[in-house]
Structure 1
Amino acid sequence: MFDAVHFVSQLQAWGRALGFAQIGVAGVDLSSAEPGLLAWLAEGRHGDMHYMASHGLKRARPAELVPGTLSVITARMDYLPAATPADWQAVEWQRLQRPHEAAVSLYARGRDYHKVLRQRLQKLADQMASALGPFGYRVFTDSAPVLEAELASRSGQGWRGKHTLVLNREGGSMFFLGEILVDVALPATPATSGHCGQCQACISACPTGAITAPYQLDARRCISYLTIEHAGPIPEAMRPLLGNRIYGCDDCQLICPWNKFAQRSTLPDFEARPVWQRPTLVQLLAWSEDEFLRHTEGSPIRRIGHERWLRNLAVALGNALRQPSATATERQHWQAALQARAEHPSALVREHVRWALQSADAVPT
């Protein structure tokens, strides 16, 4: 007779061996999350991420997304590199204070997590098949209309923080999430209670006010959305707020007290590539498209393409030019780098370069 409780324990052991920090199981009834999803979409807070709306309520209905689904196996995987120093949060805050240096989100400095998680979730599914025989399943890693954070919190991976990310008492929030939708009925693992209390550090720390209220995020104001998901011009009012962040933003996680418990990854895949140690904006702006593709091979950064890459760098250099502390020599260096892109074939790039060059005139006196 199939012992479902024992099988979940076996799944968790297999998961740990594959490098996952935790394996959980959620049911497929997410109906209580549907009103919030619909309201978020109706208010347009998903911006131009049209894929968020294109699947309708399938996001909250796993059994409609993959017919036959009876349970969802959830997984989380830590991504801080093994060599991450104890004071890593302070190190990252300091990076944001060096306007000439490019700030890239921590998760993006190694191998593309989509590939790492997908391969390991597939291995977990293969082990399930070895034990159960053929069964129906589908693996997801931030790649389809699945309410990942909702499923993770329901299955005990953590609780939803006020920044809307999942928080774990033993792991903070520096981890990736993935799922396997299966046609096997498994007992759900228990959810955990929330532990944010009265803390509002993430709300106060958000540079653009994207966390509009506890547990409410307006993606249109989020730097991660603006630098990665958004394809068009970055709204002018937002540009000065981006600082030197050229790919993503970690501020709400850097400030979170729970991330003092963030765990280091056991996998070499997430080790930061040397090029991301302390790159300068000028250095990165000079990359040709071929150089961009070469340096970002196997990296999540490649997904934005060279055009958006140059757009983001132009904004960051424009913000550097706005710094009263910049020397005349630095200004000349930055302006020369921008001038080299002033006649770029892309209107998007040219417009942001033009704005950046005008930023020199916006320096407070």
Structure 2
Amino acid sequence: MSRHELRRLRKKWLLWSLAPMILAVVAGVGLIKTMWSNDLGISSYKAENYSSGIAHFLKTGSGLPREGWVPPFNVGTSHAAAGSFLSAFPEFEEAEKRAPALSPLEDYRRLSGDEIPPMCMIRNNHVVSYGLWGDELFAEQTTPWDEYQGLRQTLEDPSSKQAYDDALKTLEEQLPSLIEAYEKVLEQYTVGVQLHSEFLCPDPSKSADRIALNKEAVEKILDDLRSYEPPPPPQESNPDEGNSDPGNNGNDGDSNGDNQTGSEDNDPSESPDSDAGGEDSNSSESDEQDGTDESQTSQDLGSAEDKRRDALAERNKAGQADREATESYLDSPSESQRQW
């Protein structure tokens, strides 16, 4: 998935967009300013002017003690929509501290609208943000992954011994950093799965399922990277092989009669040297077959890794219909309910 596509999907993945502050009675200039700043922040968010929205949300501070979770939630959601996930995470953590606690044993998954607890709204965007951050880190490895696959192909079918040696050296230098990068991707998906598992909250777009599948795919990619063993180097042919011994050239004529006599007395098919040659031939054929099998196994592993990466990328595009179905909540929220 391209960076442009990831940016376009951020806002749609954050199903609970922003939380307006709702009061039955507004008293005091301070509270009016607080609500006014929050409304301006929501307007900026809808216009995708996230930096301006964050500035307005920060002005709301903790002006409403009963809804103290709203400002950090809105700031975190704006950071996530802008792709600043490392800034979003601490805001969501702060919002969760201020929100009413949930029971880990109670099932909230069938609730909707105003029935949804604030903690479920916060936790959803928190989980989705970890998934999106993992997606972006995964997308950054597209070029290194392609280079790695190219090196493997060179090792499996080198044009020369030098080409094999160069490819092996480069792969050994790059493989540790590639493994480290995918470990970082896995870390984000793992945290997202763990956060989602703590409470039974609604997940209308099945984003948690998608993150869990991506986590499993990256685990398999890492297993393949860690266990990869390059095929053996090609054997260079010896230019002196097959040449006759110059010392025997002068004796060919003199020994011709002896050779003929010897050939009559000894059957070449029964010669120990002949048997040894046959064994060498069979051994050579077996080695060649083993090399072919190893090469085929390496190609199969590379193909499996590519399929896993492709499947993960496709899942990052999945759920488009579910996300679009929530756009009406983002664009025209009811005054009596939080945006969903």
Please give the range of the TM-score, normalised by the shorter of the 2 chains.
under 0.3
| Structure with a larger share of its residues in helix | 2
TM-score (norm 1): 0.24
| Structure with a larger share of its residues in strand | 1
TM-score (norm 2): 0.25
